[in-house]
Amino acid sequence: MASLRPLLPIAALLLLLLFLISFHSDPPPILSRTPSHPLDPLTFDEIAAIRSILVSYPPFAAPNQFPAIHSISLDEPPKLIVLRWRPGDPLPPRRATVTAYSPPGHTHLISIDLPSGRVLHHSNPSGFPFLTIDDMRRAIATALNDPSFLQSLNARGLSSSDVNCAPLSPGWFGSEEDHCRLVKVQCFAAAPNFYLRPIEGLTAIVDVDAALVIRISDSGPGIPISAGEDTDYRYSTQRNKPRSFSNPINPVSLEQVGGPSYFIENSHVIKWASWEFHLKPDARAGSVVSRARLRDPESGEWRSVMYQGFASELFVPYMDPSEGWYFKTYLDSGEYGFGVSSMPLVRLNDCPRNAHYMDAVFAATDGSPFVRPDLICIFERYDGDVAWRHAQPHIREARPKITLVVRTAASVGNYDYIVDWEFQTDGIIKVKVSLSGMLLVKGTTYQNLSQVPEGEDLHGTLITDNIIGVVHDHFLSFYMDMDIDGPDNSFAKFHMIKQETSPGESPRKSYMKVIGSIAKTEKDAQVKLSLYDPYEFHIINPSRTSGVGNPSGYKLVPSATAASLLDLDDPPQRRGAFTNNQIWVTPYNKSEQWAGGRFVYQGHGDDTLATWSDRDRGIENKDIVLWYTLGFHHIPCQEDYPIMPTVSSSFELKPVNFFRRNPILRAPPYTEVDLPVCSVMASL
């Protein structure tokens, strides 16, 4: 969920700044460069050229016919062409996909060929693209100009200039959401941290296209607005208060005396240790990792691991069925755009000093390109962890574990999602998600649990006076087009079961036995994780076997996660049906990338990963895509207030029988001469 404060200082300034950067300056030189890889994102100049093509495109050329541009992104060349391409070859024709919208109700999906300047396809699919900044602004202004909404604010002693409002997606529950594009506007009393001062129960249901308030729901008169005292999290306002630690921590930094060990070729190809991959920002997904390959230490051969990976969709249902809350069941990526919601990373704090930053170029609502600086950071990490070790009386060997992290941080309204793709020297790719930001809180008359009548469900935790942190879930579904040693792969499940011994066979009564099987069709690969019915899940290349005959593979290693408990027929769960299983495998299909569907805003959930997978297509020895949903249940607690310390979970893609032996056996250890000795000034 995203928020904006119309006509008011912080957001307005930020926007102004962005607009200044985007429209009134020449692009920085690095952004006007020409693309050099088939997967490179559209450049500043390319987006500007697409805008010109659209402006003179006959259906949009008449006065007032130009649609709102929701996104302009590279229409990637077919996978086969990308796989055949070699550095130095001419680039395949650059094409773009434009999603646009003409009110009321006309979504445009347009494919543009850049070399010829032609529109190749133009369709009007059903469904709505994610909200633009203009949509959000219009929805909020509409609510704040509505006399009865203002009256409800006035009844609470507030005027339109005393509030910050959030443009909330309404989900889909039936008839109301079928008629027009809706935004539910809820407001908060102004404060640096306004999310913690909800004006409870007051919602304007706005038809964004008509700029009309359809109705107002006010279930909250009498619920006080929290004072939000001491919730400003800026250091400038906190610095003179008692410190967090009795023993302050001295700053820590990783020094790389020899400089970084990665190379970035033509802005988007990252080479580090044995790894090489393409990396780009994306308006919807945040970041996209493509063509991840590594060089086999034994043979020197380049071996492919993953063609593409990204965060495909999120599902964030809140667990309060009341009028002001039931609809809060966000699909953040398809409703707000995970990439466009990512602000520049905070240098030295979001990413360490040794980080390199990558900028993004996105399209504004009028189609003009703008630069979002520092959207991705890339850095080498040494946490003091061990890569491998062994000690015995006369031999002690250990190796430090150094990794390469690719990080983005999306701020979708109140919440922040930090997504890391971490590449390890041992071939592991670890995907880690960390949550921070503000709770979405509910106002209440209660100031103490002792006031709550027995049996009343708060749907959350009373975290401070008059504030409930509402229980909710977060699910992130990751798309991973695995290409282990080539596109044709299979999904193998290794079931671990209890095997009982025969009478007299052994002093043991039982042991754990592993039974392997290959998933033939999509339904065989719909997996619900269970601790007491365990499996290992491998993506293997059946036509590439090791010297001893094992197929080359990578396994998916889940860690702490959560599954949705909503009814499968609950409208939010139908829209978030990609969370019905933790693992899915589908045949590669360029049109099936967004787990909740391409157009999810007010969508009915009829184009989700669950729909595709139920076709039960063959997936054996084919180009397949692995999907994993990482989940978090969140019962808020007092420490999540006023801003949450990060909560993380992760999963790994780990080589299994891919390398002949430990691929980092010959990595050298550190010695004294490798590392600088920095001395503390002698004033202590």
- Where in the sequence numbering do the catalytic residues fall? 332, 415
Q: Are 304 and 293 in contact (CB under 8 A)?
A: yes
Q: How many whole angstroms separate alpha carbon 623 and alpha carbon 421?
A: 23
* Only segment of 163-171, 206-214, 414-422, 587-595 that touches ligand NAG (CB under 6 A): 587-595
In the bound complex, what is the minimum distance in angstroms from residue 591's beta carbon to ligand NAG?
A: 4
Residue 429 parent element (H or E): strand 429-437
* Only segment of 6-14, 160-168, 576-584, 586-594 that touches ligand NAG (CB under 6 A): 586-594
In the bound complex, what is the minimum distance in angstroms from residue 73's beta carbon to ligand NAG?
A: 18
* Only segment of 23-31, 87-95, 155-163, 589-597 that touches ligand NAG (CB under 6 A): 589-597
**Residue placing its CB nearer to ligand NAG in the complex, 79 or 271:** 79
240 contacts ligand NAG (rule: CB under 6 A)? no
Bridge partners, residue 183, by sequence:
206
Q: Are 367 and 50 in contact (CB under 8 A)?
A: yes
**Residue placing its CB nearer to ligand NAG in the complex, 165 or 519:** 519
Query: Helix (H, G, I), strand (E, B), or coil: what is residue 511?
Result: strand
Going from the C-alpha of 482 to that of each of 309, 332, 634, 654, 662, the distances in angstroms are: 8, 25, 31, 12, 21
Give the residue from 189, 134, 147 showing the smallest Cα distance to 164: 189
CA 199 to chain centroid:
29
* Only segment of 130-138, 304-312, 448-456, 537-545 that touches ligand NAG (CB under 6 A): 448-456
**Residue placing its CB nearer to ligand NAG in the complex, 250 or 591:** 591
Burial-class residue 264 by CB neighbours within 10 Å (0-12, 13-18, 19+).
Answer: middle
Cα angle 612, 520, 651 (rounded to 5 degrees) comes to 70
**Residue placing its CB nearer to ligand NAG in the complex, 551 or 576:** 576
Burial-class residue 565 by CB neighbours within 10 Å (0-12, 13-18, 19+).
Answer: exposed
Q: Per-residue x/- marks for ligand NAG, 600-629, CB under 6 A?
A: ------------x----x------------
- Other beta carbons within 10 angstroms of residue 323's beta carbon come to 13
Going from the C-alpha of 440 to that of each of 1, 2, 218, 629, 639, the distances in angstroms are: 10, 11, 18, 22, 14
Contact with ligand NAG (CB under 6 A) among 123, 392, 591, 683: 591
588 contacts ligand NAG (rule: CB under 6 A)? no
3-class DSSP string for 229-273: CCCCCCHHHHCCCCCCCCCCCCCCCCCCCCCCCCEEECCCEEEEC
589 contacts ligand NAG (rule: CB under 6 A)? yes
In the bound complex, what is the minimum distance in angstroms from residue 615's beta carbon to ligand NAG?
A: 7
Q: How many whole angstroms separate alpha carbon 309 and alpha carbon 594?
A: 12
3-class DSSP string for 90-131: CCCCCEEEEEEEECCCEEEEEEEECCCCEEEEEECCCCECCC
- Other beta carbons within 10 angstroms of residue 426's beta carbon come to 20
Binding to ligand NAG (CB under 6 A): which residues in 31-90? none
Binding to ligand NAG (CB under 6 A): which residues in 100-159? none
Instruction: Supply φ then ψ for residue 427, to 5 degrees.
Output: 95, -5
Query: How many residues sit close enough to ligand NAG to count as binding (CB under 6 A)?
Result: 8
In the bound complex, what is the minimum distance in angstroms from residue 465's beta carbon to ligand NAG?
A: 8
In the bound complex, what is the minimum distance in angstroms from residue 598's beta carbon to ligand NAG?
A: 9
Q: How many whole angstroms separate alpha carbon 476 and alpha carbon 408?
A: 14
In the bound complex, what is the minimum distance in angstroms from residue 379's beta carbon to ligand NAG?
A: 37
In the bound complex, what is the minimum distance in angstroms from residue 619's beta carbon to ligand NAG?
A: 11
Beta strands per DSSP E along 525-608: 535-545, 551-558, 583-587
In the bound complex, what is the minimum distance in angstroms from residue 127's beta carbon to ligand NAG?
A: 13
Contact with ligand NAG (CB under 6 A) among 246, 450, 671, 683: 450
Q: Please give the DSSP secondary-structure letter assigned to residue 531.
A: T
* Only segment of 315-323, 443-451, 476-484, 634-642 that touches ligand NAG (CB under 6 A): 443-451
In sequence order, the 6+-apart residues with CB closer than 8 A to the CB of 500 are 509, 510
Query: Helix (H, G, I), strand (E, B), or coil: what is residue 458?
Result: coil
In the bound complex, what is the minimum distance in angstroms from residue 301's beta carbon to ligand NAG?
A: 32
In sequence order, the 6+-apart residues with CB closer than 8 A to the CB of 115 are 93, 94
448 contacts ligand NAG (rule: CB under 6 A)? yes
481 contacts ligand NAG (rule: CB under 6 A)? no
449: left (phi over 0), alpha (psi -120 to 50) or beta: alpha
* Only segment of 92-100, 139-147, 446-454, 522-530 that touches ligand NAG (CB under 6 A): 446-454
**Residue placing its CB nearer to ligand NAG in the complex, 602 or 608:** 608
**Residue placing its CB nearer to ligand NAG in the complex, 448 or 671:** 448
**Residue placing its CB nearer to ligand NAG in the complex, 201 or 603:** 603
592 contacts ligand NAG (rule: CB under 6 A)? yes
Q: Per-residue x/- marks for ligand NAG, 10-29, CB under 6 A?
A: --------------------
In the bound complex, what is the minimum distance in angstroms from residue 363's beta carbon to ligand NAG?
A: 25
Residues that bind ligand NAG (CB under 6 A): 448-450, 589, 591-592, 612, 617
